[in-house]
Structure 1
């Protein structure tokens, strides 16, 4: 059974994570169970202070594990542990603490139709998990893909909203300007860039030049600035000035009403989607969960964000199995200004929480494979 768990952990490592940080550390604790801890040095304290991206990534890890388990005839039981709601207590750097796991995943026999039975994940395959990828180049439209999401199994407290092209472009510019104008966020991003194959971590983690779709000459020119302080700091200073100016200039822009703009979209344009959680529907009348949601800096309890991460992975696999690729746009949520305008654009209520933004369509080039720490595990 330990070999089975090793194989499932290896499969789950293909789950997506912001900047390809891979913030999980899995440990087999019994013949049927795995505990997962968070690696502090693989979180994003500047760009993701609420740990939203970390918990979504953990959810994608769990879903990938469950898909592999289902192929082997198992269901999975997932237990969110108390440390999941205390991520702000993590140190800024360091290794995972195996004595403080955030979740436990256990294999159980399939028991279809039995209340409380372990979750099954049969709509997608282990090969889908392995082959799914992100494409940051041009995506061609395929909007009908999102008319039927039966295989995604959306819970009633999660919805997928559509965003128009104009708003997407505008809010993305604001988000990028925010990143550039905040030195701590920009510095953190640079630390996860791997723009030269000679980078010691090029085949392990982070975002490579190929993943970003950067022309090779540009990547080689920019690579030294990601690792050498005397080049990085002046570049960050210039980027900060440009980003701040861009943010100020973009504030005054106005957009056509959402319905009109969606109706005018070109069929060749990618589809822009926002995963939205309703905190009130997620907790219903469960008093402890209401308290957890109120205490969470994400706006919704971390165990629910974990479930949303599972759904997000299913959405991306839904796209993959139809020949589409996804391009994530977390900058729309990371920037307070862009996030506020996104909420206004989608007419989100007080209980609504935008968890993820991404574009999807037919990739116009080869979808690159992102590196993983586990790629060299024998």
Structure 2
């Protein structure tokens, strides 16, 4: 069942001729954790604000469980938004901040206190009810912001790059917490991020936005291994593109004939393989094996990057430093392009 549907959603800001968001349509399944992924100024936060009711679309529709919410004010939409800056009330305690929404709904004090205690336990902040936001760390403040949103039990939780202001260790900690909260509460969550790794780690599905347009909406594995086009592939780190044509299950190109996986599109003219999937030191008689010369080698920490020249075709390979240790620039090697790691762009 779809909890949220965007239908041809478009937003053009006053004074601009270029849409910030153009014709975006997608269905977010009930209880799912979905990422809006893309570079800065691609329309991610604009979409979130339109869903929350903070911005009015230029055209298109937003539906919750099949019903349009365009005429509903933000407070009536049952969608709560958590911002990059947590926006806690500095003069209220943690408990008062978390319970603020329930207080506005005129809930009984005993009920509010009980709900605050339960949600603070979920976000691992039990015992901090009487502290002020200024007495908390950045990660703790963000947990309070999450608790303040979740205590309302919204139909949809919207998160606008909630962890981008945290250092790496805190960000990883908060990602783990969000994943566990989602598993516990089954709330439909939509979060904005520019971090590919964060999207792949957290999301059930990813909506990739480039220049205001939805380019691919899919499970993380398909965006990574089966990109829709070259731009999508490049966004997810693809660097190897080989021009040619498909003929009888093989890809005819300057390297020779490359045996393709069975599901390869018959009309493809561009072959891609991720840098980490190229095999070094293969048997020259194996399928899809070709001679190459190492043009350069660069240590990157957890990986080593090799730039190869394979009969004029430039290829990039990523290896573990241990495997790459004995390889040097100028060395001639045999590489293999594993059949199941190949993808022909339609």
Give the shorter-chain TM-score range. Answer: under 0.3
For normalisation by structure 2, the TM-score amounts to 0.22
Higher strand share: 2
For normalisation by structure 1, the TM-score amounts to 0.21
